[in-house]
Amino acid sequence: MRKPLVAGNWKMNGNAVSINELMGLLVSGVKQAAEGVDVLVCPPAVYLAQVSELARGSAIKVGAQNACQHAAGAYTGEVALPMLAEFDCEYVIIGHSERRALFGEDDALVAEKCAAALAQGITPILCVGESLEQRDAGQALAVVGAQIEAVLTRCGIGAVADMVIAYEPVWAIGTGRTATPAQAQEIHAAIRAQLAEQDAKVAAEVRVLYGGSVTAATAAELFAQPDIDGGLVGGASLKAADFLAICSAAAA
Ligand code: 13P
């Protein structure tokens, strides 16, 4: 039985005061909202220390939004995985479509970062997803398949057991246009089938999240799909009530 995971990707939002407030509400609300669900927040890196401190003793886990593939050295502006580990980061989002599109991350780099996270004992949340153009051209399955394949080739199927996968169609991110439950389920099932070609147990056990305009209104139907194990939530994760409602939907 896969335990659902609801992860909030705060992206580049918030400040010390707003994060204090948001965490206060999440910490006090999460116990009731999220029995049986793993709840994760991924703040901007500079707030990790603050958020880890505020999350201590609660059910809220902490993750990062990105990490460098190198462990240390002359990489100005980067944040290393051993540094994240010092702040109780259990997860790190890798290969988010914004990083792929805006910061030039390709499949090879994404695979390298996954390998580095696993080596550090931090669970990578590998993001995959097609653009609208690719979907309209009937390439969604092929694009996602190739993104997964790159990580399989670099890390091996065994490593996937220690990862989380997030399907985030680019056209659904920040657009208010959620994938339908059927559209999401089709891709999630295909991801699992691709993994099952190499290892049925890993395929059955790995958590595959959906991301892209998940709201309190759309979450329950998405999470009810057989191959959707929770969500990677952007905008709605910045509002405590909405995020907690999404956590509750995963618990139901
Ligand atoms: P939105 O929920 O704002 O669409 O963002 C999704 C996302 O990119 C999460 O990583």
State residue 252's pLDDT score.
80
What's the pLDDT band for 80 if we cut at 50, 70, 90? very high
70 is an active site residue: no
Cα torsion for 249, 132, 138, 221, to the nearest 10°? 10
Each residue's pLDDT tens digit, 148-200: 999 999 999 999 999 999 999 999 999 989 999 999 999 999 999 999 999 99
State residue 33's pLDDT score.
74
96 is an active site residue: yes
| Active-site residue (options: 149, 168, 188, 205) | 168
State residue 37's pLDDT score.
96
State residue 22's pLDDT score.
98
Domain spanning 5-251, CATH architecture: Alpha-Beta Barrel (3.20)
Question: Is the distance from the beta carbon of residue 242 to the nearest atom of ligand 1 less than 6 Å?
Answer: no
Residue nearest to atom 1 of ligand 1 (CA): 234
Say yes or no to pLDDT of 34 above 80. no
Each residue's pLDDT tens digit, 210-228: 999 999 999 999 999 999 9
- Output phi, psi for 76, to 5 deg: -50, 130
Say if CB 133 and CB 110 are below 8 A apart.
Answer: no
Say yes or no to pLDDT of 236 above 90. yes
User: What long-range pairs does 109-112 form, CB within 8 A, spacing at least 24?
Assistant: 109/69, 110/147, 110/150, 110/151, 111/150, 111/151, 111/153, 111/154, 111/155, 112/69, 112/154
Say yes or no to pLDDT of 69 above 90. yes
What's the pLDDT band for 31 if we cut at 50, 70, 90? confident
The pLDDT > 90 percentage for the chain reads 96
pTM over 0.95, yes/no: yes
Mean pLDDT to the nearest integer, 139-146: 98
Mean pLDDT to the nearest integer, 42-55: 98
